[in-house]
Each structure stands twice: as structure tokens, then as C-alpha cells.
Amino acid sequence: MAKKKITELVSGWMEDYGPRNGYELSRCEFVKEAGTWYLRVYVDKLEEDGYGWMSSDDCETVSRFLSEKLDKDDPISQNYYLEVSSPGLDRPLVSEKDFERFKGSRIEVRLYEPIDGKKLLEGELLGLADGIVSIKDDKGKEICVPKDKAAKINLAVVF
């Protein structure tokens, strides 16, 4: 089965299972690294007042659910490892939902090509509109970056 179809299948399972069990799929990827295939599933914990922290027990719960579904439907012909984890503190922002959820948060934008001599921009996420990511830098200047010009957009880890 094609990589895209596998991630769509997992996404479909999680659309039904996740909200009923207190989880939300952040993203899913099926990738080959150094000759080994990995099905990576990143999940958020849902709580009454928003989002909570994913524990290792939560990851195990989701992993068991997905393992059962994958064993039953057997959509992947090659050997692979299933990994279930939280998206992490430095989670990538990928979907429009991510950009809306984390509006006002500090982010890092890594660029393919420099803007004003910089390939790394940091600041407060103002939003995403029409494919343009807007951030406010530390000097209060608004910077607009086409999303397709960014190699990675992540939450910044601030200590």
C-alpha cells in the first residue's frame, strides 16, 4: 500500500477512536530511514479544558489500538516499526489547525533561502492566511513568510 494511503488509513481510524478516548491525531508519517520502515503516529491528549500531557501509558493505549487495527487489516506488506508519541515541545506546525491553535505562541521558522540575511526567524505566531505565515519578531516587526518557503516551522522551546 502506498505511503499516503497508510497515513490516510491511520488518520481515519484515529478520527473515530481519538475523540471517544481522549486523543487527537497531530500527524502521521510512514517513512524509510536507513533501510527500515517506521509508521510514526503523533498524538495529543484531550482534556475537558483543552489539551493535556501525553504519558507513556497514553502512548501505549493508542499503540495497542493501532496494532490491533493494523494486524486485523494488514495494510502494510513490508516489515516496519510502529511508534506512537506526543508531538513534543518543539512540535512542527503543519496543518491550518496547528497554526490556529498555537496563535500567540513563540515559533521558529527555518527557511530554504534567507530573508534579510537570515535563514532562521523567531517570534510570536500571528497566524496563517492564504499560505502566508505571519510572525512578530522581538522588535515588534511583523514578518510575512510564504509557508512553502519554510523548510520547517516549529514551536520554540523557551526555558
Give all domains of the chain, ordered by start, each with its CATH number.
Answer: 3-85 (3.30.300.70), 96-155 (2.30.30.180)
Q: How many CA atoms lie within 13 A of 154 on its CB side?
A: 13
Residue 1 has pLDDT above 70, yes or no: no
Distance of alpha carbon 67 from alpha carbon 41, whole angstroms: 12
What torsion, rounded to 10 degrees, do the Cα atoms 16, 20, 23, 27 define?
Answer: 10
* pLDDT tens sequence across 90-106: 999 999 999 999 999 99
At which residue does the C-alpha cell 490556529 appear? Answer: 100
Given a contact cutoff of 8 angstroms between Cβ atoms, the answer to whether 6 and 70 are in contact is: no
Strands 80-85 and 36-47: parallel
* pLDDT tens sequence across 73-89: 999 999 999 999 999 99
pLDDT band at 49 (very low <50, low <70, confident <90, very high): confident
Note the pLDDT of residue 3: 63
Distance of alpha carbon 29 from alpha carbon 67, whole angstroms: 15
pLDDT band at 129 (very low <50, low <70, confident <90, very high): very high
Q: What's this model's pTM, rounded to 2 decimal places?
A: 0.85
User: Cell numbers at residue 23, please?
Assistant: 486523543
Note the pLDDT of residue 109: 97
Q: Quote the percentage of the chain above a pLDDT of 90.
A: 90
Distance of alpha carbon 89 from alpha carbon 115, whole angstroms: 26
